[in-house]
Amino acid sequence: MRKARELVEFQGISHIDLTVSDAKRSADWYERVLGLKKLKSAVMDGRIVEMLAHRPTRMIVGLVQHPQPQASHFDERVPGLDHLGFSVSSREELNQWQAHLENEGVEHSPITDAPSGSGTALVFRDPDNIQLEIWWTNTSK
């Protein structure tokens, strides 16, 4: 019988790769709307990949355009990614994000408290309909 080994915890999120219909268009949008910085463009195994960085968290976002996509847009109702949430440290920062999205012409939800009281969200979608969320965790509850 094997002795169970202690799990080594990972330290955070290194990167996330999202499948998109137009990597260049999406990279421009993520740079403009979320403030990510373009690192490089590459073609790997026939896929166009745009690499961007969120410098404060050191998270890399890869935007991958496959040569023969299976669908025209994202649908969170099929297995895979449901949405991607980014955290802020205060409710006021949500208000600032809402103003920024409005300034950029990005359609979004109203700022909404979660029914559980665990936090508050501002929801919007990227050019491929991937749901993104700015989330503030309410630690006072």
Average pLDDT over residues 34-60: 94
Rounded to whole angstroms, how far apart are CA atoms 98 and 109?
A: 9
Six token digits for residue 16 = 């996330």
Q: Which residues of 93-131 are buried (b: 16+ CB within 10 A; e: fewer)?
A: ebeebbebbeeeebebeebeeeeeeebbbbbbbbbbebb
pLDDT digits (tens, 9 = 90+) for 95-110: 999 999 999 999 999 9
Q: Pick the residue with more confidence: 138 or 38? A: 38
* Position 127 confidence tier, pLDDT thresholds 50, 70, 90: very high
Q: Taking residues 23-41, report their average pLDDT.
A: 97
User: Does 38 or 11 have the greater pLDDT score?
Assistant: 38
CB 135 within 8 A of CB 86: yes
What single-letter DSSP state applies at residue 8?
P
Per-residue pLDDT at 11: 79
Per-residue pLDDT band for 1 (boundaries 50, 70, 90) equals low
Confidence of residue 47 (pLDDT cuts 50, 70, 90): very high
* Ordered structural domains, the chain, with CATH: 13-67 (3.10.180.10), 82-141 (3.10.180.10)
Distance between CA 91 and CA 134 in Å, rounded?
10
Determine the pLDDT at residue 13.
85
Candidates 77, 90, 75, 81; CA nearest to 135 is 90
Tokens of 91: 């409710």
pLDDT at position 70 over 80: no
Is the pLDDT confidence value at 48 over 80?
yes
